[in-house]
A and B are shown apart, each in its own frame.
Chain A
Amino acid sequence: MQTALRTSVPETELASRANSAPHARVAREERPLHVSGLSLNIRGLRKSFGDNEVLRGIDLHIPAGQFVAIVGKSGCGKSTLLRLIAGLEKIDAGSISFGDEVQAEDIRVMFQEPRLLPWARVLSNVEVGLGRDRASDDAQLRAEKALTEVGLVNKRDQWPSVLSGGQKQRVALARALVSRPRVLAFDEPLGALDALTRISMQRLLERVWRDQGFTAILVTHDVSEAVTLADRVLVIEDGRIAQDVTVNVPRPRERRSVDLADLEGSILRALLSGDERI
Chain B
Amino acid sequence: MSLIDSVSLPRNFRLPRVDGLVQWIVPLGIIAIWQVASITGFVPARVLPAPSDVALAGWKLLLSGELVRNIWVSFWRASIGFLIGGSIGFAFGLANGLSQLSAKLTDTTLQMVRNVPHLALIPLVILWFGIDESAKLFLVALGVFFPIYLNTLHGIRTVDPQLIEMGRIYGMRDGELFRRVIFPGALPSIFVGIRFALGIMWLTLIVAETIAASSGLGYMAMQAREFMLIDVVVLSILIYALLGKIADSASRVLERATLSWHPAFQKR
A residues lining the B interface (CB < 8 Å): 86, 88, 104-105, 108-109, 111, 113, 115, 117-120, 128-129, 131-132, 159-162, 175
Contacts and interface: CB of A to CB of B under 8 A. Distances in A.
Interface string B255-266: 000011111001
Given A104-B171, A131-B171, A115 B166 contact: yes
B266 A162 contact: yes
Contact of A113 (B162, B180, B259): B162
- Taking residues whose C-beta sits less than 8 angstroms from the other chain, chain B's interface range is 20 to 34
Nearest to B264: A161
B169 A86 contact: yes
A128 B184 contact: no
A175 to B, nearest CB: 8
A108 B266 CA distance: 32
B163 A117 contact: yes
12 contacts: A115-B163, A117-B163, A117-B180, A117-B181, A119-B185, A119-B259, A120-B184, A128-B166, A128-B170, A128-B180, A132-B171, A160-B261
B256 to A, nearest CB: 14
Given A88-B169, A111-B166, A161-B262, 13 more contacts: A105-B171, A115-B163, A117-B163, A117-B180, A117-B184, A119-B261, A120-B184, A128-B172, A129-B170, A131-B171, A161-B261, A161-B263, A175-B170
Interface in B5-19: none
Interface string B145-175: 0000000000000000011011101111000
A131 B170 contact: yes
Interface string B239-268: 000000000000000000001111100101
Contact of A120 (B170, B171, B261, B266): B261
Nearest to B164: A115
Contacts of B172: 128
